[in-house]
């Protein structure tokens, strides 16, 4: 959140030093820490803030659960990451196919 606030200040034309002073005042942190946020924003721009998550338990066939675990391991991702991507892609495809009412 603070890096994104710094990115907004920089995009509006503030210097790193100006952004650091504004961030320190806004968030009640040291100017030194705020400068780190501003420098990170200057180097890479805004960062993605993850959405809140919840536990969602489902029962899957053993074969499917095994395949998902294997895919996650082989791709270096978490099971949650693989399932999240699969569900989002499924829901996007379903939404695009839905005829207008």
d(CA 41, CA 23): 12
Across the range 13-35, mean pLDDT stands at 95
CB-based contacts of 38: which residues, under 8 Å, 6+ apart? 6, 9, 10, 16, 17, 19, 20, 23
CA angle 3, 51, 92 (to 5 degrees): 120
Q: Rounded to two decimals, what is the model's pTM?
A: 0.54
Residue 51 confidence (pLDDT): 87
| pLDDT tens for each residue of 29-57 | 999 999 999 999 999 988 888 889 999 99
Positive or negative torsion for Cα 46, 47, 52, 54: positive
**Residues 23 and 34: beta-carbon distance below 8 Å:** yes
């Amino acid at each position: 959140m603070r890096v994104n606030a710094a990115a907004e200040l920089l995009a509006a034309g503030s210097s790193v030093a100006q952004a650091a002073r504004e961030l320190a005042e806004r968030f009640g942190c040291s100017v030194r820490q705020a400068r780190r946020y501003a420098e990170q924003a200057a180097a890479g721009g805004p960062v993605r803030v993850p959405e809140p998550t919840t536990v969602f338990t489902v029962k899957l066939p053993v074969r499917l659960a095994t395949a998902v675990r294997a895919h996650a391991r082989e791709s270096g991702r978490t099971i949650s990451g693989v399932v999240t991507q699969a569900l989002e892609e499924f829901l996007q495809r379903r939404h695009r196919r839905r005829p207008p009412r």
